[in-house]
Structure 1
Amino acid sequence: MTQSALERLSQDAIIICFDYGLARIGVAIGNMLTKTARPLRIISWKTNEQKWKEITSLLSEWTPAAIVVGVPRHADGEPNSMTATCQKFANQLEGRFHLPVVREDERFSSVEAERENSGADYIDDEAAAVILEQWLRRKEQ
């Protein structure tokens, strides 16, 4: 997403975030006004058709102004086995929905989400909220 597209986001714009995985996608929702995010849901998927149907439904329901996608890397910043897959997912979102898509470094989001939600079976939605809040905090600087 270009800097000018980021600058055009309204004060009360809704932002949706995806923490992409091969079996589950964590989803969080936030807004520019409060600079906060909350877990929304986890999409469990087995087929591309199912995945895109669920994502389309969420985007129709929430009508976000932009999308944030967590892009994982190793601690040293080098790409890991999921980096290219998440980049591809972000590209597909742009192509399908014609919304600005931010790729956000998610190196430590799962660690933080696990610390805050120990004992939970799945924390993908919590990790998405961590990723989105990280982006929102950086955005306000």
Structure 2
Amino acid sequence: MNKNYNMLLCFDFGVKKIGICFGETIAGSSTPLPVIKNNSESMKKIKSYVDEWDPDAFLIGCPSKPSEDFFRQLIIFKENLKNEFKLEVIESNEDFTSQIISSEFKNKEYDSLSAQKIFESWVNTKDE
């Protein structure tokens, strides 16, 4: 896996909605983006983010013990990203990222804040 990417779109994948953030690895900064519904229009919305942010790769949070149904849908999502955009999809453990988000944010862009935590965790450990 190439960990020398500068610009990443990071996803907190869910079967109903997808949290997204843009991450810049040199400064370690990230920007949460609006959550999107996980439906037939998802790739169109992601394309608009790809066009706007021009990422080098995708980073996707993966739980260590997903349900079988979730895992199947996650695999399909990753393959769709690879096929549609021809960019590498990097996986990062997302265990406990949701738990560290303050309850005051859980009603708004919670999933994108979780994507931001996935990015922060990855960028802080990518050289290990």
Normalised-by-shorter TM-score class: 0.7 to 0.9
Q: Give 1:67's match in structure 2, choosing from 37, 58, 73.
A: 58
**Equivalent in 67, 74, 80 of residue 86 of structure 1:** 74
Contact 1:70 1:86 in 2 (8 A): no
Selected match of 1:56 from 35, 39, 47? 47
8 Å contact 2:18–2:35 — kept in the other structure? yes
Instruction: Write out aligned runs for 1:122-137 (5 A).
Output: 122=108, 123-137=110-124
| Superposed displacement of residue 79, structure 1 | 3.3
- In structure 2, do the counterparts of structure 1 residues 102 and 40 end up closer, same or farther at CA, with 3 Å as the change threshold? same
Sequence identity percentage:
27
d(CA) in 2 for partners of 1:126 and 1:70? 12
Alignment match, 2:85: 97
| Structure 2 length-normalised TM | 0.86
Runs of 4+ residues over 6 Å off in structure 1:
none
Shift of 1:24: 1.3
The one-letter code of the counterpart of 2:55 is P
Greater relative contact order structure (CA < 8 Å, 6+ sep): 2
Which amino acid in structure 2 is aligned with residue 52 of structure 1? M
Structure 2: any 5+ residue segments left out of the alignment?
A: none
Who wins on radius of gyration, i.e. which is larger? 1
Structure 1 residue 119: deviation in Å?
A: 5.1
Contact between 2:15 and 2:73, CA under 8 Å: does it hold in 1?
Answer: no
Q: Contact (CA 8 Å) 2:23, 2:30: kept in 1 or not? A: yes
Q: Note closer, same or farther for the CA distance 1:52–1:119 as it changes in structure 2 (3 Å cut).
A: closer
Q: CA deviation at 1:117?
A: 4.3
- For the aligned residue pairs, the C-alpha RMSD in angstroms reads 1.8
Distance of 2:75 and 2:29 partners within structure 1: 24
- Residue-pair matches, total: 126
Partner of 1:20: 13
Q: Is the 8 A contact 1:27 1:129 kept in 2?
A: yes
